[in-house]
Chain A
Amino acid sequence: MKTRPMMLALAVAAAIAAPAAMAEGSTADGIAQYRAMLAEGNPAELWELAGEDIWKEKAGPKQASLEQCDLGKGPGVVKGASAALPRYFKDTDRVQDLESRLMTCMQTLQGISPDNFVKGKWGKGEMEKMEQIVAYVVGQSRDMKINVDMSSPQMKKMYALGKKAFFYRAGPMDFACSTCHGEDGKRIRLQDLPNLTKHEGAAAGWGSWPAYRVSNGQFWTMQHRLNDCYRQQRFPEPIYGSDVTIALSVYMAKTANGGTVMTPGIKR
Chain B
Amino acid sequence: MGNPMRIRAAASDGVTEVKVLMNHEMETGQRKDSSGNLIPAHFITELNAKHGDKVVLQAEFGPSVSKNPFLSFKFKGGAKGEKVVISWVDNKGDSRSDEATIG
Contact = CB atoms under 8 A, between A and B. Distances in A.
A183 B68 CA distance: 36
Contacts of B3: 46
| Interface of A: prevailing SS | loop
B72 A40 contact: yes
Most central of B23, B68, B70 by chain A CB within 10 Å: B68
A40 B19 contact: yes
Contacts of A49: 4, 6
The bracket for how many chain A residues form the interface is 10 to 19
Nearest to B25: A217
A41 B67 contact: no
Contacts, number: 27
Interface in A38-55: 38, 40-43, 45-46, 49
A199 to B, nearest CB: 33
A41 B21 CA distance: 6
| Interface of B: prevailing SS | loop
The bracket for how many chain B residues form the interface is 10 to 19
Given A40-B72, A41-B72, A46 B21 contact: yes
Contacts of B21: 41-43, 45-46
B4 A43 contact: no
A6 to B, nearest CB: 40
A43 B72 contact: no
Nearest to B3: A46
Contact of A40 (B4, B66, B67, B70): B70
A41 B4 CA distance: 15
Contacts of A214: 66
A144 B67 CA distance: 30
Interface string A20-48: 00000000000000000010111101100
Interface in B24-71: 66-68, 70
Contacts of B68: 43, 46, 217
A157 B76 CA distance: 60
A38 B3 CA distance: 21
Interface of B: 3-4, 6, 19, 21, 23, 66-68, 70, 72
